[in-house]
A and B are shown apart, each in its own frame.
Chain A
Amino acid sequence: MRRIEVQDLTKYYGDKLVLHGIDMGVGEHEVVVLIGPSGSGKSTLLRCIGRLVPYDYGKIFLDGVPIDDPALAGNELPKRVGVVFQSYNLFPHLDVLDNITLAPRKVHGIDRDVAEARALEELEKLGIADLADSYPDKLSSGQQQRVAIVRALVNDPEVLLLDEITAALDPELVGGVLSVIRDLKAQGMTMVIVTHEMGFARDVADRVYFLDQARILEEGPPDRVLGDPEHPRTRQFLQRIIEAGRL
């Protein structure tokens, strides 16, 4: 049984078809990368899996249980599926430690001492423990994104959903954040990653899905999908990215 299973997922925003008959799966310890042009539905797919937006048809399973099942109601799904956003979305009025411990304390009922010790341990691993008392607006983009990753990690999720987490970073800070994700892969974290960093995708992905206009057009190992794509749309997309100098 795969960790995440998406069957025939279809979603509209108003009249606009945003996801059409999506079938995909993510195995245990697998890293899946979603690529595709802007507006193809990558973020929406992640948001559906993370139950952040409703969908119209189809099914999504976490370990075989539908995500709308009462067994995953309330904070059960958020505990098991962590999300990191492109724009970090840290809470500006809370310092780093409070940002990280908010959910453990308020949602999962963990004592402040325990939650803070855990947060510091994770911050330490990413080399940013000295930022614990800082407020988000005093941090660099790369530091903020690493805090956001820690905030997702302290709930011990089984799956991480990462949506273009380097797209808003200053270029020289991208590498540091990507290496955090490589480490997570080495530790066996199951991840679904949306990225435009094709070098990173090739490096970290076990499988790649190419989305175009609400559909999955192509799927396979990174060497094939990124190196020798079957579908002309995929080739065209990759060609544009090469021209933009990102491969």
Chain B
Amino acid sequence: MSIVSTVVVFGLAALWITSSAHWPRLRDQFFSWSHIEESFPDVLRGFWINMRVWIISMILIMLISLLFAALRALRGPWFAPFRVFAVLYIDLFRGIPAVLLMLLFGLGIPALQLPGVPDAALFWGTVALVVSYVAYTTEVYRSGIDAVHDSQRAAAKALGLTQWQTLRHAILPQAVRNVVPALLNLAVALQKDVALLSIIGVRDAVREARIFTARTFNYSSLIAAAILFLIASIPMARFADWVTRRDQERRLQRTM
């Protein structure tokens, strides 16, 4: 029944749009098959850059944030500088829009032409994404660490584990498990934010599509790029949903 109603509603909507007087113009501007076909190889090559940056920055983000969160969780006066650093870092980079970081790092630093510093926009664009996302991800890990009950620390201490061993063997494994769904959702968001690379001249999918648009005054290449992002993101988002659901079931089971 729900399938039938869905098909009917969407079918009517499609009919209404395609029967509008403006449809042919719309179709030629955005959904011209020949333009999509023509731009596709370049857009796909650019998209490959997006996906590589996505994977690499995701790995870096997960590791660096875990390290930051762990340093931040260490107690005692010796570790105060780490805690202060983490708080300042998070305040700073969570407060600045990612697009600004992208411009500052990706255009600003190469423009300095500092000796010994790479001047590739691709490199600094990736750095900008990592810097921005590490601020969020550290907070996510922290919430996971805070959610581990204090009695776990007491047990580890009673067994003679050092503070670092306690984190490493008792707290962090539980904390990471607590935040897997949240991390996956950040990965989904990052998968789209890699398109920000286009604004600093990296020839990613969006940049390639815009080059094509500028040449042909047709927007179908942007649709080609959109389709590629969709193909990548839908399975990822479904996977994140599935993991989240399984995680909720696990929690429910434990409280019963």
With A78-B160, A103-B160, A107-B160 already in contact, the answer to whether A89 and B155 are too (CB < 8 A) is: yes
**Cα-based distance from A216 to B158 in the complex (angstroms):** 25
With A52-B154, A87-B151 already in contact, the answer to whether A102 and B174 are too (CB < 8 A) is: no
- Would B151 and A89 count as touching, CB distance under 8 A? yes
A61 lies within 8 A of chain B by Cβ: no
**Min distance, Cβ B178 to any Cβ of chain A, angstroms:** 10
B170 lies within 8 A of chain A by Cβ: yes
With A91-B170, A93-B173, A93-B174 already in contact, the answer to whether A107 and B159 are too (CB < 8 A) is: yes
- Would A85 and B161 count as touching, CB distance under 8 A? no
- Would A92 and B174 count as touching, CB distance under 8 A? yes
B165 lies within 8 A of chain A by Cβ: yes
**Cα-based distance from A131 to B3 in the complex (angstroms):** 49
By a CB distance below 8 angstroms, the chain A residues around B162 are: 74-75
**Min distance, Cβ A14 to any Cβ of chain B, angstroms:** 17
By a CB distance below 8 angstroms, the chain A residues around B254 are: 137
By a CB distance below 8 angstroms, the chain B residues around A108 are: 160
By a CB distance below 8 angstroms, the chain A residues around B160 are: 74-75, 77-79, 103, 107-108, 155
> When each residue 151-193 of chain B gets 1 if its CB lies under 8 Å from chain A and 0 otherwise, what string results?
1101101111110010001100110010000000000000000
- Would B151 and A85 count as touching, CB distance under 8 A? yes
- Would A107 and B151 count as touching, CB distance under 8 A? no
Q: How many residues of chain B get a CB closer than 8 Å to chain A's CBs?
A: 17
By a CB distance below 8 angstroms, the chain A residues around B152 are: 89, 91
8 Å CB contacts to A: which residues of B24-40?
A: none
> When each residue 34-75 of chain A gets 1 if its CB lies under 8 Å from chain B and 0 otherwise, what string results?
000000000000010010100000000000000000000011
**Residue in B151, B154, B159, B161 whose CB lies within 8 Å of A151:** B159
> When each residue 195-208 of chain A gets 1 if its CB lies under 8 Å from chain B and 0 otherwise, what string results?
00000000000000
**Residue in B158, B169, B174 whose CB lies within 8 Å of A78:** B158
> When each residue 123-155 of chain B gets 1 if its CB lies under 8 Å from chain A and 0 otherwise, what string results?
000000000000000000000000000011011
> When each residue 79-110 of chain A gets 1 if its CB lies under 8 Å from chain B and 0 otherwise, what string results?
10011010101111100000000110011100
Q: Give chain A's interface residue range (CB within 8 Å of chain B).
A: 20 to 34
**Cα-based distance from A91 to B155 in the complex (angstroms):** 9
With A82-B158, A85-B155, A155-B159 already in contact, the answer to whether A107 and B174 are too (CB < 8 A) is: no
By a CB distance below 8 angstroms, the chain A residues around B155 are: 83, 85, 89-91
**Cα-based distance from A82 to B160 in the complex (angstroms):** 10
**Residue in A52, A106, A152 whose CB lies within 8 Å of B157:** A52
- Would B154 and A102 count as touching, CB distance under 8 A? no
- CB-CB nearest in chain B for A161: B158
**Min distance, Cβ A107 to any Cβ of chain B, angstroms:** 4
**Cα-based distance from A75 to B154 in the complex (angstroms):** 14
- CB-CB nearest in chain B for A104: B159
> When each residue 86-122 of chain B gets 1 if its CB lies under 8 Å from chain A and 0 otherwise, what string results?
0000000000000000000000000000000000000
Enumerate 29 A-B pairs (CB-CB under 8 Å) in ascending A order.
A50-B158, A74-B162, A75-B160, A75-B161, A75-B162, A77-B160, A78-B157, A78-B160, A83-B155, A83-B158, A85-B151, A85-B155, A85-B158, A87-B151, A89-B151, A89-B152, A90-B155, A91-B169, A91-B170, A93-B177, A102-B169, A103-B159, A103-B161, A106-B161, A107-B161, A107-B165, A108-B160, A151-B159, A152-B158
Across the A-B interface, the 5 shortest Cβ-Cβ residue pairs: A78-B160, A75-B160, A89-B155, A83-B158, A103-B159
Chain B residues with a Cβ under 8 A of chain A: 151-152, 154-155, 157-162, 165, 169-170, 173-174, 177, 254
